[in-house]
Amino acid sequence: MIRNLRNLIGRIRGFGRCLKCGDRWNWKEPHFIVFEGEGMEESSMFPLCDECFWKLPIEGTQGIMHFCNELLTLWIAFGRREFPPDRVSRMLKAMRTNIQKEMFDRDVDLSCKL
């Protein structure tokens, strides 16, 4: 109920949403995935909220990349930025690497806490 209300407010205000659960960025924490450079905001995307990002353990990197692809396809379709094919393949490669690194770091973190 409260979740629906928050999402409605977010939608009215024009906030984007998590491509998996649909929650809006006015109240949900997005998970930034860097595709170029060193984490500058314009060089990252957030197809998923933080919660959904860490809830894809079975599909792992592949499952998350599915949503990165989806968002990138939307960006290209709406002509939001320039995306020549060589840049797109570089971006996808960088995101895959960064996601794998994050998952690895998280697993190291978890095993240290055991």
Radius of gyration (Cα) for the chain, nearest Å? 15
Buried b (16+ CB within 10 A) or exposed e, 53-91: beebeeeebebbbebbeebbeeeeeeeeeeeeeeebeeb
Task: Indicate which single residue of 7, 10, 17, 18 sits in contact with Zn ion (rule: CB under 5 A).
Answer: 18
CA–CA separation, 21 and 17 (whole Å): 8
Nearest to Zn ion of 35, 67 (CB atom): 67
CB of 86 to Zn ion, least distance (A): 31
97: how many CB neighbours lie within 10 A of its CB?
13
Q: Does 31 bind Zn ion (CB under 5 A)?
A: no
Site for Zn ion in 50-109 (CB under 5 A): 52
CA–CA separation, 30 and 91 (whole Å): 19
CB of 5 to Zn ion, least distance (A): 17
Nearest to Zn ion of 52, 65 (CB atom): 52
CB of 16 to Zn ion, least distance (A): 12
Q: Does 33 bind Zn ion (CB under 5 A)?
A: no
CB of 90 to Zn ion, least distance (A): 26
